[in-house]
Structure 1
């Protein structure tokens, strides 16, 4: 098996294929020999599991996943990497490399096609510029995924795993909490990548489970409210939602009073339960 954690070998591999890094795809390949095995081990790459990898790159993490999991499906958007992956991981019989954009796939259908009869997990070193869209695509799909274990920018990891109702939280924090629980597993320094990015990273894991679906009367309204409220987070909740969603301020104030919250409260101060209660009340009383 080719060593993809040694810089000289990786540079030679890329030179053989005439490969140049693409800013468009935000490419930073993992070359730390301790990181990928740990992602695989903590990310449910084991017997009985099918693992979906997003953006395999040159195959450093792919190797570790394929050594452990029942099957691996790796979706790569960059066609230039396909011959490289054929050289680095092509001998794994339990691996299927798929060329395409993960955002264009029906995730439940893809998992059924690739992993029928297996439990499913996702592992990935996500490009920083598209972290949130990919995570939301996975979570909103409703696919039967046990865990999502991904490398993200350190600051994004902190926001994803922040406690809802604190200053550090945001719309993505609320979304992740709606669909599961997120924790930081371990930090990863910038020199673990080729080329090294300008920031450090962290590996997070989302335990996927529908925590609040049963008590949310209108999920579409809930997410729209959260997105709009956090888009103007410096404003009070009343001013933010009246400006972005057209709600009458007095009605918003009345609902907040019933929830025993001051009219000066900002959305970032509300817990998950309070956000859902607010959304439910607005859905019942108003037509926007």
Structure 2
């Protein structure tokens, strides 16, 4: 398949921005962990990063765009024949529904579409076979995953990243390195995992804890949980009720979560949202009908 105009070929539906700068391609390869594990690449696009990856690793790529699958099958005919490259066409999220992305330990390396990048990273957190995540994402997302406690950017994503390992913002990439150029600055993020995190309740707890990042952590928590239980938890852990979400270490969030989880029976003791007169009237109308 011949592609005459990359900017016109790129699909907005799949958030495609093709990295066409050799300097950054080589920097991504240099940032990879130093071992011989297989690589899973999500969204190989035209195969520019893939060409560098197959020089050093066996690669399994996941591509959702059928047009690109046709291109990649032709472009990588020789590595496919040699068993260095495998292409799987379809939605990578559907593959994750049935378990690990690959059936053996691997590193995830990818230039991710911005609209799905966070979801992909969180999926990789849960995948026991995924040993590390080296991805190109929007700089803002990379900062949230890699921020340290006390930094204003420290977020629920930072806590999740710290819970599975170590996150590092490796380097930034200007829009001009892509075709077509995105409207934001990108960054390469490396997350070296030492364990997996697959607790949906913990993720939900963090959403509450960081629901209003500039307010006090205590107030965010009592918007959902019983004030008495939260107060007891803070006293037991010797925490200041004036503590703000970005000022609490990752370990503190795990301690608070474990205390609240132990003291709650599901949602029975959690605060229920207050009904307004309008919502009460709507419920009454539903009951009558």
> TM-score band, normalised by the shorter chain?
0.7 to 0.9
Q: Would you say how many aligned residue pairs link Structure 1 and Structure 2?
A: 262
- 5+ residue gaps, structure 1, are 1-11
Instruction: Select which of 88, 92, 95 maps to 2:85.
Output: 95
Question: 1:103, CA displacement in angstroms?
Answer: 1.2
Aligned to 2:46: 58
Deviations 1:165-205 (A, max 9, x none): 43211111111111111112222111110001111111111
Task: Tell me how far apart the structure 2 counterparts of residues 58 and 45 of structure 1 sit (CA, whole Å).
Answer: 26
Scaled by the length of structure 1, the TM-score of the pair is 0.83
Aligned to 1:43: 32
Please say which of residues 231-240 and 165-174 is displaced more in the overlay.
Answer: 231-240
- 5+ residue gaps, structure 2, are 268-289
Instruction: Select which of 280, 284, 287 maps to 2:258.
Output: 280
Question: 1:33, CA displacement in angstroms?
Answer: 1.0
The 5 Å alignment of 1:182-201 reads 182-201=167-186
| 3-state secondary structure, aligned to 1:147 | strand
Task: Tell me how far apart the structure 1 counterparts of residues 149 and 78 of structure 2 sit (CA, whole Å).
Answer: 45
Aligned to 1:27: 16
| 3-state secondary structure, aligned to 2:22 | coil
Task: Tell me how far apart the structure 2 counterparts of residues 18 and 154 of structure 1 sit (CA, whole Å).
Answer: 22
Task: Tell me how far apart the structure 2 counterparts of residues 158 and 17 of structure 1 sit (CA, whole Å).
Answer: 29
Task: Tell me how far apart the structure 2 counterparts of residues 49 and 197 of structure 1 sit (CA, whole Å).
Answer: 32
Question: 1:96, CA displacement in angstroms?
Answer: 0.7
Question: 1:242, CA displacement in angstroms?
Answer: 2.5
Structure number with larger C-alpha Rg? 2
Deviations 1:29-80 (A, max 9, x none): 010011112212322486x3210000000000010001111x1000001111
Aligned to 2:145: 160
Task: Tell me how far apart the structure 1 counterparts of residues 248 and 183 of structure 2 sit (CA, whole Å).
Answer: 33
Aligned to 1:67: 55
The answer to whether the 8 Å contact 1:45/1:51 transfers is no
| 3-state secondary structure, aligned to 2:189 | strand
Question: 1:95, CA displacement in angstroms?
Answer: 0.6
Task: Tell me how far apart the structure 1 counterparts of residues 150 and 264 of structure 2 sit (CA, whole Å).
Answer: 25
Task: Tell me how far apart the structure 2 counterparts of residues 194 and 50 of structure 1 sit (CA, whole Å).
Answer: 28
Measured at CA, do residues 259 and 165 of structure 1 come closer, stay the same or move farther in structure 2, by a change above 3 Å? farther
The answer to whether the 8 Å contact 1:77/1:101 transfers is yes
Q: Which stretches of structure 1, 4 residues or more, deviate above 4 A after TM superposition?
A: 16-19
Please say which of residues 180-189 and 218-227 is displaced more in the overlay.
Answer: 218-227
Task: Tell me how far apart the structure 2 counterparts of residues 196 and 255 of structure 1 sit (CA, whole Å).
Answer: 49
Measured at CA, do residues 129 and 110 of structure 1 come closer, stay the same or move farther in structure 2, by a change above 3 Å? closer
Measured at CA, do residues 24 and 16 of structure 1 come closer, stay the same or move farther in structure 2, by a change above 3 Å? closer
